[in-house]
Chain A
Amino acid sequence: LAKTTQPISMDSYEGQEVNITCSHNNIATNDYITWYQQFPSQGPRFIIQGYKTKVTNEVASLFIPADRKSSTLSLPRVSLSDTAVYYCLVGDGPGSSNTGKLIFGQGTTLQVKP
């Protein structure tokens, strides 16, 4: 499983767009890129997943360049409730023949200020 590197912490203000970049230089061909959000004393919650190019859902966008060696999670117009730890992971894609192992790094602690 590819190792990921992301900033330990970031600060932002309410209403701003936040971009968190993750490096995964050794990503394998069948690896998907997934981002999770974790609040204190709760389990992580899935935010978004992608394989290449751009993925968008109701809460975030995920940008993946052609070489897939990095990815950027974009949170539009953050609020105080977006203060959390954000994890970037790479791992096995969907399918019945894989373990689905995900290796969590330290994550990025995002602090949104009023």
Chain B
Amino acid sequence: SQTIHQWPATLVQPVGSPLSLECTVEGTSNPNLYWYRQAAGRGLQLLFYSVGIGQISSEVPQNLSASRPQDRQFILSSKKLLLSDSGFYLCAWRSRSRHEQFFGPGTRLTVL
């Protein structure tokens, strides 16, 4: 069966510090991968998606970046965090032959 992992589960970072969130998927190959952010009490905002290794599409301009160094690894990064980067970050994957996305447990990021 397929599983998706995200870490860390929670993170508190000062403004201006770097960020690296990691997401890995097991039990599938060549998945589409997605990063979402959810602000408190809001819906999910698609940040990045990837259809293959090294292929990243950005949905919104921001100080975040994403990378996909391996087929089942998706990384979200920032060089300098802003207060507005606080939120709940979710990674998701999708099989090419199916429509539904499967979400990870999420990372709660607080920027102080």
Contacts and interface: CB of A to CB of B under 8 A. Distances in A.
B44 A44 contact: yes
B97 A99 contact: no
Contacts, number: 63
Interface in A32-84: 32, 34, 41-46, 49
A103 B104 contact: no
A96 interface: yes
Interface in B70-105: 88, 90, 92, 94, 96-105
A46 B43 contact: no
Interface residues of B, number: 28
A100 B32 contact: yes
B101 A104 contact: no
A106 to B, nearest CB: 5
B49 A100 contact: yes
Secondary structure of the B side of the interface? strand
A44 B97 CA distance: 20
Given A32-B99, A49-B100, A104 B36 contact: yes
A105 B94 CA distance: 19
Interface in B39-55: 42-46, 49, 51
Interface of A: 32, 34, 41-46, 49, 87, 91-96, 99-107
17 contacts: A41-B88, A42-B103, A42-B106, A43-B92, A43-B104, A43-B105, A44-B101, A45-B103, A46-B102, A49-B100, A87-B43, A93-B99, A96-B97, A99-B51, A101-B59, A104-B45, A105-B43
Interface of B: 32, 34, 36, 42-46, 49, 51, 57, 59, 88, 90, 92, 94, 96-106, 108
